[in-house]
Chains A and B, each alone.
Chain A
Amino acid sequence: MKKSSFLLAVIFIFSMMKLQAQDDLLSLVGDDKPKKEHVEYAFKSSRVIMSQSLEIIRPGVMDLRILHRFGNINGGAYEFFGLDNATMRMGFDFGLTKNLMIGVGRSTNKKEIDGFIKYRIIHQSKNGGLPFSLLVSAGSSLNTLKFTDSTRKNYFSSRMGYYGQVIIGSKISEGFTLQFMPTIVHRNLVPTVDDPNDMLAVGVGSRLRLSKRISLNVDYYYRINPNETDGTKNPLSVGFDIETGGHVFQLHFTNAVGMNEKVFLTETTNDWSKGDIQFGFNISRSFQIKKKK
């Protein structure tokens, strides 16, 4: 008798539990477990400012990027604080798959054509998975200026430069992203014997989100083996990303000359400490050229 009353009690408890569970029906189907998911939107666009960022543009999207750099601000009122001089690069980037994008562009500086490919190997995830992203990017550039020295034999390959880059970083919080970019730049032809054909650099890029639509970005490279004699400097850009519906504006100040990796790493002669700063802006406009469904 004792045993049976114990069993009855057990049944009573079980049925009570069932009754209680009715209050939260969703828990019956185990819906409260957090699922593993990729961390998206580490940056507003595929570039920090001048560098490739952790982001890959989505498949089927074309990103028209128009980059402007004005002259040095310390040119004063006569140069209208640099606005009298402008160089630009117009580029088209394409998202091919979830993890692969390519892009081409042409700069007024040296009439260069450049192209790149960027691939994401590791995508940062939360609730399981790795807490960082790892991407690789490689590109080449072609100087299309007429050869100036007709006394030497000019090879087509002399026009080419290359870069390779690993981008490793993490969206540490909703507001803060940090990435590092070990980089190698190769130039087939260098100006002097003091210039290394292969230059190594380590970049750091970061984003601090100030509001839903505005962030503060910093983009800097430390060059490991620069030419010490030609007065080139490490490039540094600081600016704001401002998102307005369909556009992302990247307004910034920079000492970098040129708008592809080879140029800004090897030809940046401007010096922040002397006030040789340029105002620049990038406009990124996304077009969905292939519909999702």
Chain B
Amino acid sequence: MKKLFVIIATTFISISSLVAQDKYFTKSGRITFVSKAPLENIDGDHKSVTCVLDTKTGNMQFAVLMKGFEFEKALMQEHFNENYVESHKFPKAEFKGQVVNNSEINYAKDGTYSARVKGTLTMHGETKEVETVGSVVVRSGKLQAVAEFMVLLSDFKIQIPKVVKDNVSNTVKINVDCSLEQLKG
């Protein structure tokens, strides 16, 4: 009986640790975006992005609190929150997707791997498919996920008034840079 219990306990622990080892996460990922318009460039910078990656399935999720974006000018930050993304109504942006070529990435071996990521981005109450090619760097048990992609503000029903059309671009480039650590179950 005792033996059986030990066996079961061991299996249980090993199962749970196996599950946990597959997942990597961060709560201090970085996302920046740039809007380039004739009159001015607007840069937003976020340093506390949450990201979880399941290396077994390739599932990947991001969560970003919109209020956390910081800008060079205080007025940009105010307008970003109040007039464009309406962060009081839509506090969070989320990405749910998958590393499509997950099987090509050897998470156990150090190196740089190209990762094709596909999924849906939800922002300002709108959901849109996005797809990009980024990279995963595996280095001594840690992962660094880097990607760059473009979004159109009009896809997310973020309107730019005519008077500021030379200040705010409809095309915004988003950069993702997250260092992921193993999630201990």
Residues of A within 8 A of B (CB): 3-4, 7-8, 11, 14-15, 18, 22, 24-26, 28-29, 31, 35, 37, 40-41, 57-61, 95, 174, 212-213, 243-246, 286, 288, 291-293
Contacts of A58 in B (CB 8 A): 74, 77
Contacts of A26 in B (CB 8 A): 50, 52, 61, 63, 94
Contact across chains for B67 and A37 when beta carbons are under 8 A apart: yes
Report if B8 contacts A (CB, 8 A): yes
Q: Whose C-beta in chain B lies nearest to the C-beta of A60? A: B74
Contacts of A40 in B (CB 8 A): 78, 81
> Can you give 16 contacting A-B residue pairs, CB < 8 Å?
A3-B1, A4-B5, A11-B11, A11-B12, A14-B16, A22-B57, A25-B53, A28-B52, A29-B25, A31-B50, A244-B163, A246-B75, A286-B75, A291-B73, A292-B74, A293-B72
Q: Whose C-beta in chain A lies nearest to the C-beta of B168? A: A245
Contact across chains for A292 and B50 when beta carbons are under 8 A apart: no
Contact across chains for B25 and A291 when beta carbons are under 8 A apart: no
> With the chains together, A41 CA to B81 CA distance in Å?
10
> With the chains together, A160 CA to B167 CA distance in Å?
45
Contacts of A293 in B (CB 8 A): 45, 70, 72
Q: Mark B25-63, 1 if CB is under 8 A from A, else 0.
A: 101000000000000000001000010111001011101
With both chains docked as a complex, state the minimum distance between the C-beta of A95 and any C-beta of chain B, in angstroms.
8
Contact across chains for B163 and A22 when beta carbons are under 8 A apart: no
Report if B4 contacts A (CB, 8 A): yes
Report if B23 contacts A (CB, 8 A): yes
With both chains docked as a complex, state the minimum distance between the C-beta of B83 and any C-beta of chain A, in angstroms.
5
> With the chains together, A29 CA to B86 CA distance in Å?
26
7 closest residue pairs by CB, A with B: A58-B74, A25-B52, A288-B73, A25-B61, A31-B50, A245-B164, A18-B19
Q: Which of B72-105 contact A (CB under 8 A)?
A: 72-75, 77-79, 81-83, 86, 88-89, 94
With both chains docked as a complex, state the minimum distance between the C-beta of B140 and any C-beta of chain A, in angstroms.
21
With both chains docked as a complex, state the minimum distance between the C-beta of A207 and any C-beta of chain B, in angstroms.
13
Report if B113 contacts A (CB, 8 A): no
Contacts of A25 in B (CB 8 A): 23, 25, 52-54, 59-61
> With the chains together, A57 CA to B90 CA distance in Å?
24
Contact across chains for A288 and B25 when beta carbons are under 8 A apart: no
Q: Known contacts A11-B11, A31-B50, A31-B63: does B4 contact A291 (CB below 8 Å)?
A: no
Q: Which of B130-185 contact A (CB under 8 A)?
A: 161, 163-164, 167, 183, 185
Contact across chains for B71 and A292 when beta carbons are under 8 A apart: yes
